[in-house]
A and B are shown apart, each in its own frame.
Chain A
Amino acid sequence: MTGRETAWRVFARELEASLEPERGTGERATSYVLSPFGARMNRVLLAGTLSTAEPVGRDETPSFWRARLTDPTGAVAVTAGTFQPRAMEQLRAGSGSRTVLVVGKVNLYHGRDGTAYVSVRAESLRDVTETEERAHYTEALEQTLDRVDLVDRLARGEAAAPREVGFVPPPWVVAAAESLRRYPSADRLQFRRDLRPVLGRIVGVASSALVPPAPPSVQVRRDPAPSPSTAPTAAERAEESLLLEFLDQVAEASLDAYADRRELLARVGAQGLGTDRAEAVLTRLEDEGVVEEPVVGKLRRA
């Protein structure tokens, strides 16, 4: 089934601990970041305190902005570029810290020295009230504990969904099994301890009383190392993912399951990807066999 990617409810601590990239099956399939605690994330929903956004790079008209989102367990970078004008506007809105809810795509980047950085490319973001933030933390903590319990059960060789637990989402079972395989020595007990400050926020302790730990960067050895030579640049990848995302949306909305070329161009145009650029990206994707146009003006994933 080609449903929409779920927005996993996670805390910054879990993102900081996530080092393993994963590609779905098929060429140019959806990419995921696997956490040690049973999340296989393409998209996440986060809440926390957002710092003032700062431009990335030294361009006169910056095309990429970054802010830091802090929750009771840690911090993570939230970014937005010109391809997400709405999210960029929301990220840049206001100065000083504010409480926000963010939905976005998880990005994992390995620096040359092997350091892994997780960031979240915002799709949508808005200011929320304290009650909304507490409601989000409640749900996120409940689901995070459910997932860690699931990984624990699998680690003990028990059933994924025993009778007393009831329904367990099949994607969670897949993720938990993979977490266990890829992070055999993850410290789940410590992770549970790291989650404890969330409880204080849920019962309403003022956020200033809780000083979050500084975000650690994590050293990992990769074997084999990723080859950056042929990979498209981050900007190109962003263009491709934007285009493919809208292709899926337009196709989904159409009766014949094809994306109308004109409509697609108009939609990505509204997102800041001009027609010439979009055509170039489309041509590249068609050349690479990712997208096809079996009927003139009608596009679909190959």
Chain B
Amino acid sequence: MADASPPSEPVEVRLRDLRLGSGPVEIVARVLRAERREITRSSDGGRRSLLSGLLSDGTATVRFTWWDPPREGVERGDVLRAVAPEVREFRGRTELSFGWKTRVGPASEAELPVVRPEEIPSRGLKDLTDPMEGFRVVARVVRVAERSVTVGDERRVVYDGLLADGGATVGFSAWVDFRLRSGEAVEIVGAYVREFRGTPQLVLDERASVRRVEGTDLPTPATVLDAPPVAIAQLEDTGGAASASVQGVVVGLLPPSGLVYRCPRCRRSVQDGTCREHGPVTGIPDLRARLVLDDGTGALTVNADRATTERLWGTTLEQVLSGLRDRPDPAAWESSLLEAVFGRRLRVRGSATRDDFGVTLQPDTVEPAEVDLDASADRLSARLGDGRR
């Protein structure tokens, strides 16, 4: 590049050691996120392209800005070597800027710094936020299940589950088989945090490593899964949870509930024979119920799948389909579903998320809830007093 005589030879540093005004440096890091933009100069209206995003080398995650980047070929996951980037600070956090003085080129995985686990700060699950990288957690595997997904043309197996420590429960997604078993205590290094439906989730890919530990002070899966129900108002307040149990009464149904048709490719609901994503398709019939569960402190939506809907309704998809000849009106079926579920007292456990319309619960279990009448009567009698007060 143009600058023939740098003041001194750049020193290779790790991202967590970047300091403002410490002389020329050199870094190797992976692109976690990258977004391309065009900026119009106000002076002459000329256009300049800009790539910005996040870099990580396992020790820290920093924001970067790259002026006039190559037209293509910088993707999430790429490892880059940058010589003489400009170190800046914005709102107390270190940033990198790649300008005309910076030499940026591809690097290999092996060039990434080797980080020993002891060097990595330990984090509690409740402290995880998106984006975060370069930490280790010690947690109990509460639950793990295998799921097959299609990424482009490739079929991959993902291991989804729940992790818990003394402070929180978070969901995880492992793209590599770490042979995780529910009940075991593990130390995870090299995972990163991503927001999924509004709550932080731990993602484990090839860079992560898992080690079994004693974990005697960690909660057991049973304590997490059998946790007593929380007030729905509490979920409305905190904004969701990876694993939450609530108990309430079904007071209504939200559309679409009952018989729906789904796109054969993406499973989205099909409206008038058209998928939002894939155009005209022949929908596959399915049952679902969007139950409004209310506990007197708040209300949330429970998205019940076909199996749960059939169980609560006492009617199968086959029965609905064969009954369509006699009763073609979908509203009549929705009424019948509402009659079957209205007023039912349910205990539901699953992952809760919140958006502008309130809290939605994606259930793992839906069970009828019982009220212990005798115990409650004793308690209430004590609260009401004996009538002399």
A residues touching B (Cβ–Cβ < 8 Å)?
A: 1-9, 43, 45, 86, 101, 103, 123-124, 126, 128, 131-132, 134-136, 138-143, 145, 167, 169-172, 192-193, 195-196, 199, 202-204, 249-250, 252-253, 255, 257, 267, 270
Of A1, A45, A192, chain B has the most CB atoms within 10 Å of the CB of: A1
The 5 closest A-B pairs by CB, nearest first: A169-B233, A3-B358, A135-B371, A169-B297, A9-B296
Secondary structure call for the A interface: helix
Of A3, A204, A270, chain B has the most CB atoms within 10 Å of the CB of: A3
Judge whether B286 is part of the interface by a CB distance below 8 angstroms: no
Contacting B236 at CB < 8 Å: which of A1, A8, A267? A1
Counting contact residues on chain B (CB < 8 A from A), the size range is 35 or more
18 interchain pairs, CB-CB under 8 A:
A2-B358, A3-B299, A3-B359, A6-B233, A7-B251, A103-B294, A126-B339, A134-B371, A136-B249, A143-B296, A145-B380, A171-B297, A195-B384, A196-B384, A199-B377, A199-B381, A253-B254, A253-B290
* Contact present for A4 and B358 (CB under 8 Å): yes
A to B contact number (C-beta, < 8 Å): 131
| Chain B residues with CB below 8 A from A124, complex form | 251-252, 338, 342-343
Select from chain A the residue with minimum beta-carbon distance to B340: A126
Known: A101-B343, A170-B233. A253 touches B296 (CB 8 A): no
* A275 to B387 alpha-carbon distance, docked (Å): 57
CB distance from B259 to the nearest CB of A (A): 15
* Contact present for B296 and A6 (CB under 8 Å): yes
* Contact present for B252 and A6 (CB under 8 Å): no
Contacting B251 at CB < 8 Å: which of A45, A171, A253, A270? A45
Select from chain A the residue with minimum beta-carbon distance to B385: A192
B residues touching A (Cβ–Cβ < 8 Å)?
A: 230-231, 233-234, 236-237, 249, 251-252, 254-256, 276, 290, 292, 294, 296-299, 301, 331, 335, 338-339, 342-343, 345, 354, 356-359, 370-371, 373-374, 376-377, 379-381, 383-385, 387
Select from chain A the residue with minimum beta-carbon distance to B257: A253
| Chain B residues with CB below 8 A from A170, complex form | 233, 237
* Contact present for A139 and B252 (CB under 8 Å): no
* Contact present for A202 and B376 (CB under 8 Å): yes
* Contact present for B297 and A7 (CB under 8 Å): no
Contacting B377 at CB < 8 Å: which of A101, A138, A139? A138
* A141 to B384 alpha-carbon distance, docked (Å): 10
* Contact present for A171 and B298 (CB under 8 Å): yes
Known: A128-B343, A172-B297. A134 touches B255 (CB 8 A): no
| Chain A residues with CB below 8 A from B379, complex form | 142
* Contact present for A6 and B294 (CB under 8 Å): yes
Contacting B387 at CB < 8 Å: which of A128, A132, A142, A196? A196
Select from chain A the residue with minimum beta-carbon distance to B380: A141
* A262 to B347 alpha-carbon distance, docked (Å): 36
Select from chain A the residue with minimum beta-carbon distance to B237: A170
Select from chain B the residue with minimum beta-carbon distance to A270: B331
* Contact present for B296 and A123 (CB under 8 Å): no
| Chain A residues with CB below 8 A from B298, complex form | 3, 6, 169, 171
* A7 to B298 alpha-carbon distance, docked (Å): 8
* Contact present for B343 and A2 (CB under 8 Å): no
| Chain B residues with CB below 8 A from A203, complex form | 373-374, 377
* Contact present for A249 and B254 (CB under 8 Å): yes
CB distance from A195 to the nearest CB of B (A): 7
| Chain A residues with CB below 8 A from B234, complex form | 167, 169
Contacting B299 at CB < 8 Å: which of A2, A4, A132, A138? A4
| Chain A residues with CB below 8 A from B296, complex form | 6-9, 45, 139-140, 143
CB distance from A32 to the nearest CB of B (A): 15
CB distance from B359 to the nearest CB of A (A): 7
| Chain A residues with CB below 8 A from B339, complex form | 126
Contacting A103 at CB < 8 Å: which of B251, B377, B385? B251
Known A-B contacts: A7-B294, A139-B296, A172-B297. Give 17 more (CB < 8 A). A1-B356, A6-B233, A9-B296, A45-B294, A101-B343, A103-B342, A126-B343, A134-B371, A139-B371, A142-B376, A142-B380, A169-B298, A171-B233, A195-B384, A202-B380, A249-B254, A253-B256
Known: A45-B296, A195-B384. A138 touches B359 (CB 8 A): no
* Contact present for B380 and A252 (CB under 8 Å): no
* A257 to B358 alpha-carbon distance, docked (Å): 13
* Contact present for B345 and A145 (CB under 8 Å): no
* A134 to B123 alpha-carbon distance, docked (Å): 47
CB distance from B284 to the nearest CB of A (A): 19
* A2 to B383 alpha-carbon distance, docked (Å): 35
